[in-house]
Structure 1
Amino acid sequence: MSRTFSAWVTSGADFLGVTGPFPVDVPWWAEVEPVVGRLRRTLGVPVLVLRLLEVDGGESGRDGHVTYHVEALERPVPGALEQRPVHQGLLDMDDALRSPWGRADGLRELIDWASETLAALGRPMTGPVEQRRTWNLAGLFRLPTGQGPVWLKATPRFATDEAAVIAAFARVDAELVPTVLASGERRVLLEHIPGEDCWAADAATVEAGVRRFVAAQAALAGRRPPGLRDRRDRVLGGLVHELLDRRVELDISDQERDDARELTARWDRLAACGLPDTLVHADFHPGNWRSDGRPPVVVDFADAHWGNPVLDCLRLYDFLPEAVRPAAVRVWVDAWKTHAPASDPARALALAEPLAHLSYAVRYQEFLDGIEASERPYHAGDPAAVIRRALWSAAQPGFDSLEVAGEVAG
C-alpha cells in the first residue's frame, strides 16, 4: 500500500493512546473515510479525524506514513490502544491558524450546526455523520437524511464564500451548480449531486461542460459579486511581483526569480485580448465536475475570483485525458468567440499558459501563509514547483495562437 497511517487518539481533554500503523488503499492524506472506517473497527467506537500531525515520506499530499490526531466520540474498548511515548507538544499546541474543524470543539459545533439546520428545514439526519475528507483547505462530510444525502463543507478564512459564488451562477443557470440548502460563516450545506466525478470525461461531456460554463461566465461579465477576490490581469501580475520580491522560502534561484518577473509583462498583453473580466472558478478541473450523463454540474468554488476566464481553460486542459484536450480548447475558443466576437481567445491561451502557473504560485503561497505548521507538508514546495513550470512552459509553449485559431476555423 502507498499510504499507511497511525492515530493518536484523544477524547476531550484526555489523551487515550496510539494505534497503528495500518495500510489504506487510497494514497491521498486528506481522504480520511478509509482511516475512519479502519479505526471504528479497531476501537469499536465512532471517531473523527481532526488533523494531520506528521508525515514520513510521501509528497504532494499523498503516500508515505501519516500520523493523525483523532477524536474518539466514545471511550474505546479496553486494550484497543497502546500507551507509547509521543511528542505531546504536537497535541497540546494551540495554533492560531488551525482550522475550526481541526479542533474537537470546533468539529462538534460544526456538526451540531448542520444537524440543527437540517432539522429546522424538515430534513433531520437519519444516521451518523460520515467524514469523507479533512485537511487545511476543507472539511467535507456526508450527512444521511430521509430525502437523500446532504454534503457539509467547511472552508478556511482565506477561501472564497462558496454560497455567494454558487448563488451568482445560479441566477444565470441554476442547473450548472449545486443546490445550497443553507450556509453560515465558512460553511455550506449542499444537496447531493447524482452521478460521478468527471476525471475520465469524454469529448461530449467536455463540450457540454465548457459551453455551459462559458455561457454563464459571459452572462456574469461586468456583474462582480460583492466581496469577491480581485484577480484581474494587472492585479494578478502585481501579486506575482509581490511574491517574488518577498524573498519567502521559494527554493528558486535568483535567475529564476528574474525570469519569472519578466513573464509578468504578459499580463498587459493578455488584457488586450479582449476577454471580459468575470467569475473565474480557478480550479476548473474535471474532478470538480459531476455528471450522470447530463451536462456536468460544477462544484468547489473555494478558489473562485474575479478575473480573466482564460485561467479556467488552462486548468481544465492540464487535468483532462490527453485524447480530449484538443476538443476542449476548440470548444472553449469557439464559445468565447461566440459570446465576445471582438476577443482573441486563441491568443489569450498562448499568452496565459505560463501566467496560469504563476497565478497558482500566488494561491499556493496564500495557503502556506494561512495554515498551521504541522499541515505545511500538504503545500510545501508547491509555489516553487509551479514557478518552474511557468518558466518551462514559456520556453516550450504548448499553445500557438494561430494553430489554435486555425483548428477552430477548420
Structure 2
Amino acid sequence: MQHALGVPVLVLRLLTVDGGQGARDGHVTYHVEALGPPRPSVCRHESADQGLLTGDDPLRSPWARSDGLRELLDWASRTLLALGRPVTGSVEQRRTWNLAGLFRLPTESGPVWLKATPHFAADEAAVIAAFAEVDPGLVPVVLGSGEGRMLLEHIPGEDCWDADAATVEAGVRRFVAAQAALAGRGPHGLRDRRDRVLAGLVRELLDNTTDLYISAQERAAARELTYRWDRLAECGLPDTVVHADFHPGNWRGDGGPPVVVDFADAHWGNPVLDCLRLYDFLPEPVRATAVRAWVDAWKAHVPASDPARALASAEPLAHLAYAVRYQEFLDGIEASERPYHEGDPVAVIRAALRRAGSPGIDLLEVAG
C-alpha cells in the first residue's frame, strides 16, 4: 500500500471484503491514513459508503481510530524516552486487525515491539510477569505497559514453525515446569476457564447463540460432549495459567530453548489445552516428541496425575473451548471486521464432533 501511494501509511481497519473465504483472498478495502500527500498519479476517486469512514462503533479498537493510533504511538515514544531509549526512526506497522496492533520501533540499542490488544484479551503484561517470576528467560522482557498495551524487548531468532525435535522437547518441558510452578497462584484477574466453567460456557453457547448455524442434531451431540469435562477433571492435572494458543508460531528461538510470546488468550484452567494446540500445529515428524515430552513432564511434576488419559479425553473438548473463544471475538468486534472470524465457532464445533468419533491422538506414540 505504501508503494502504491508513494508515501508512508498506517492501516487503521478493515472496511469491506468482496469474495474470499475463511479470512483469505477476496477484494479487500482498508481504511488507511497517509502520513503525507499521496502521488496525484495514483489517486483514484470512487464513491464509497461515507458511513464506513466517518461513523463510529463502540466496539472499534482504539488503534483502529486515527486519534487512538497516534495516542498509542505517542505513549510508546514517551515511555521509551523516559527509559533512555528514544525512538530513532520511523515506526513500522507489522500487523493490524481486531485482535492486535503490532508495531516495530527502532532504537539505538535495538528494536522494541509495541503491542496493543482489545478489551477481551488477557492482561498480557501480568501473565508475562507471572511466568517471569518462575523462569525469566521463558518470556519476553516487558519494558512498559498500560491498559491494552505493552512494549516488549526484541527477541533474537525466528518463529519456530519448523521446530526440530530438540526444540520441541525443550520448549514443552520448560513451559510445563513453569505451569507446574504457577499452579495455585496465577495473576489476578485471569479469565476462569476451569473444566466445569468451560463446560457451562459451551452449553450456554449452544443453547443461546442465535447465529450458530448448526443442526439440532449437531447441537445435541456437542452438548453431550460437554459432560466429558467431568472425566477430564478426574485426570489430576492442576489448574494453572494456560497459554491457550500454544502453537510453534508463538515460540521464538535462536538454537536454544524457545521464548514463548502472545498470551492474549491466556486463562486459568486445565493445561491439557496447550499440548493439544501444539500437536495440531506441529509438523508430523515431531508430534510424537511433543506428546511424550508433555506427558513425561507432567507425570514428573504431578506423579499422581494421568496426563496421557487427559489428552485422550480432552481432544474434542479443546475444539469446544475454541468455539467459546471465537464467539468472544465475534461479540467483541465491530461488524465490518466480523469476516475475519465469521464461521469459526461452527467450524470448531464440527471439528470437535469429528474428533469425538475418531481414535484421536495415538497414545501408543506416547508409550513409544
Aligned to 2:360: 398
CA contact (8 A) 1:347 1:400 kept: no
Tell me how far apart the structure 2 counterparts of residues 85 and 214 of structure 1 sit (CA, whole Å): 55
Tell me how far apart the structure 1 counterparts of residues 273 and 248 of structure 2 sit (CA, whole Å): 14
Aligned to 1:33: none
Q: Which of 62-71 and 276-285 deviates more?
A: 62-71
Tell me how far apart the structure 1 counterparts of residues 262 and 301 of structure 2 sit (CA, whole Å): 25
Shift of 1:226: 0.7
The residue type equivalent to 1:389 in the other structure is A
1:333 aligned onto 2:298: no
Tell me how far apart the structure 2 counterparts of residues 367 and 139 of structure 1 sit (CA, whole Å): 15
The residue type equivalent to 2:60 in the other structure is R
CA contact (8 A) 1:170 1:177 kept: yes
Tell me how far apart the structure 1 counterparts of residues 122 and 234 of structure 2 sit (CA, whole Å): 27
Tell me how far apart the structure 2 counterparts of residues 51 and 289 of structure 1 sit (CA, whole Å): 27
1:83 aligned onto 2:45: yes
1:371 aligned onto 2:339: no
SS in structure 1 at match of 2:326: helix
SS in structure 1 at match of 2:114: strand
Shift of 1:85: 1.4
Unaligned runs of 5+ in 2: none
CA contact (8 A) 1:353 1:397 kept: no
1:187 aligned onto 2:179: no
The residue type equivalent to 2:344 in the other structure is D
> How big is each residue's C-alpha offset from its partner over 1:220-258, in whole Å with a ceiling of 9 and x where there is no partner?
001121100000000000000110011321111011000
Tell me how far apart the structure 1 counterparts of residues 366 and 5 of structure 2 sit (CA, whole Å): 60
List aligned pairs for 1:290-329, cutoff 5 A: 290-329=252-291
Q: Percent identity?
A: 78
Aligned to 2:31: 69
List aligned pairs for 1:168-317, cutoff 5 A: 168-317=130-279
Aligned counterpart in structure 1 of residue 97 of structure 2, from 135, 139, 149: 135
> How big is each residue's C-alpha offset from its partner over 1:263-321, in whole Å with a ceiling of 9 and x where there is no partner?
01111110010000000000000000000001000000000000000000000000000
SS in structure 1 at match of 2:40: coil
> How big is each residue's C-alpha offset from its partner over 1:345-376, in whole Å with a ceiling of 9 and x where there is no partner?
00000000000000000000000000000000
The residue type equivalent to 1:337 in the other structure is K
CA contact (8 A) 2:61 2:118 kept: yes
The residue type equivalent to 1:275 in the other structure is L
The total of aligned residue pairs comes to 368
SS in structure 2 at match of 1:85: coil
SS in structure 1 at match of 2:37: coil
Aligned to 2:72: 110
Tell me how far apart the structure 1 counterparts of residues 11 and 89 of structure 2 sit (CA, whole Å): 18
CA contact (8 A) 2:12 2:66 kept: yes
The residue type equivalent to 2:48 in the other structure is V
Aligned to 1:31: none
CA contact (8 A) 2:292 2:367 kept: no
The residue type equivalent to 1:238 in the other structure is G
Tell me how far apart the structure 2 counterparts of residues 79 and 406 of structure 1 sit (CA, whole Å): 66
1:146 aligned onto 2:108: yes
Unaligned runs of 5+ in 1: 1-38
> How big is each residue's C-alpha offset from its partner over 1:145-202, in whole Å with a ceiling of 9 and x where there is no partner?
0000000000000000000000000000000000000001100000000000000111
Question: TM (normalized to structure 2)?
Answer: 0.98
Aligned to 1:12: none
Structure 1 residue ranges, 4+ long, deviating more than 4 angstroms after superposition: none
The residue type equivalent to 1:336 in the other structure is W
Aligned counterpart in structure 1 of residue 3 of structure 2, from 32, 36, 41: 41
> How big is each residue's C-alpha offset from its partner over 1:358-409, in whole Å with a ceiling of 9 and x where there is no partner?
00000000000000000000000000000000000000132255x35533xx
Tell me how far apart the structure 1 counterparts of residues 351 and 169 of structure 2 sit (CA, whole Å): 27
Tell me how far apart the structure 2 counterparts of residues 258 and 85 of structure 1 sit (CA, whole Å): 47
CA contact (8 A) 1:52 1:66 kept: yes
* CA RMSD across the alignment: 1.0
Shift of 1:40: 2.5
The residue type equivalent to 2:367 in the other structure is G
